[in-house]
Amino acid sequence: MWLIKVTKVLSIYAIDQFVYKRYTLDEVRRKIIHVLQNNSPGLSGVELANKTGINRITVTKYLHILSTIGLIRKKTVGSINVWFLERGVMDFESPINYLEIQQQFMNVILGGDGTHAHKIIMNVINSSVEQIRILTDVILPTHNAINELYNRGRLGKTELISFSNIILQIIDLMNFNVQPEKVKSNAHALFVAGSEDQVYQAKIGQLSLQILGWNSSYIGNVKNHIDPFFDIDFQRYILKVWNNKKGLLLLFICSSEEISLRFLSAATRSLKAKLKGRLDIILSTTPELQAISKGIEPDYVTTDLQSLIDLSEQEYELNH
């Protein structure tokens, strides 16, 4: 009798341990991807539970999450759901080889395979990586390489437009999927593009600061809207979104055209005394316009993503 009682107690303890085991998304993702990588015909939920050691209820919940974010897919065979890895999905081992990921990403971009490129980035986002390095070590080098290939005559203009558009779509996708490392209090950044070729710089800059914990947003490309009365409209918008905000306010004007740099800078400068927070105007432009930009008398001038990030973080540290 005592043996039966002990067995029951141990069983209850085992069940409790089993039920209350907590898993993070990253833990489950790695286990499921590792198992499916070695089972190309696919596995059912029951088989995945057995092979990963995770109970069926938990596995089922996370299978649907991983399916939603595009890492796995299912095929119904009779009454059973069979799960497969999406093409291009892999388990990145630590330490992460960002160069390898960047090369994979660039290859599929040059192949015009936007769907595959999206899946690579989503897989990386849901791995144990530094999210900012997805931008600095994967997406930015790919964008630069594509532009270099175009400048050398290795890519046509239509290819450049198509590949750049895929990257911009991925940046937009990341905006809704990345999580800030740590939210910064009273740290606000607003990006505006003043030329078509600087839309990329504005978007990737906005996303970079968002990842780093800033309250960061992007207005859009206003080049074709600049007229003698646009400064009033622009000022009204800035006052509306920033009027009651305190702390550090950074306005990034991204443009390769002197006219838009001067116009937007002048329109913003008059707002410095009207806002509660400290407003800094940063011109993000090309190296060729760096000297001219300094003559416009902004607070700072940047010409690349890393200097933009470094400047923002330094200003935050000085003001907090």
Q: Looking at residue 94, what is its pLDDT?
A: 61
User: Residue 107 domain-assigned?
Assistant: yes
Residues 12 and 70 in one domain: yes
Residue 78: domain span: 2-85
User: Residue 92 domain-assigned?
Assistant: no
Residue with tokens 């849901």: 126
Is 150:160 a contact under the CB 8 Å cutoff? yes
Domain boundary among 56, 85, 114: 85
Is 225:193 a contact under the CB 8 Å cutoff? no
Residue 251's beta-bridge partner residues?
190, 281
Q: Looking at residue 11, what is its pLDDT?
A: 38
Residue 192's beta-bridge partner residues?
253
Number of domains in the chain: 3
Looking at residue 11, which CATH number applies to its domain? 1.10.10.10
- Among 304, 262, 300, 299, which residue's Cα sits nearest to residue 287? 304
Q: Looking at residue 90, what is its pLDDT?
A: 60
Q: Looking at residue 8, what is its pLDDT?
A: 38
Residues 6+ apart with CB under 8 A from 156: 150
Q: What is the pLDDT along the chain (320 residues), one digit of tens a residue?
A: 433 333 333 333 333 344 446 777 767 877 887 788 777 788 888 888 888 888 888 888 888 888 877 778 888 888 888 888 876 666 566 677 889 889 999 999 999 999 889 888 887 876 767 889 999 999 999 999 999 999 999 999 999 999 999 999 999 988 887 878 789 999 999 999 999 999 999 999 999 999 999 999 999 999 999 998 999 999 999 999 998 899 999 999 999 999 999 999 999 999 998 999 999 999 999 999 999 999 999 999 999 999 999 999 999 998 87
User: Residue 131 domain-assigned?
Assistant: yes
Q: Looking at residue 236, what is its pLDDT?
A: 96
Residues 306 and 286 in one domain: yes
Domain boundary among 146, 175, 204: 175
Q: Looking at residue 16, what is its pLDDT?
A: 36
Residue with tokens 């008059």: 270
- 314 vs 306: CA distance, rounded Å: 12
Indicate left, alpha or beta for 82 from its phi (over 0: left) and psi (-120 to 50: alpha).
beta
- Among 287, 267, 74, which residue's Cα sits nearest to residue 201? 287
Residues 150 and 33 in one domain: no
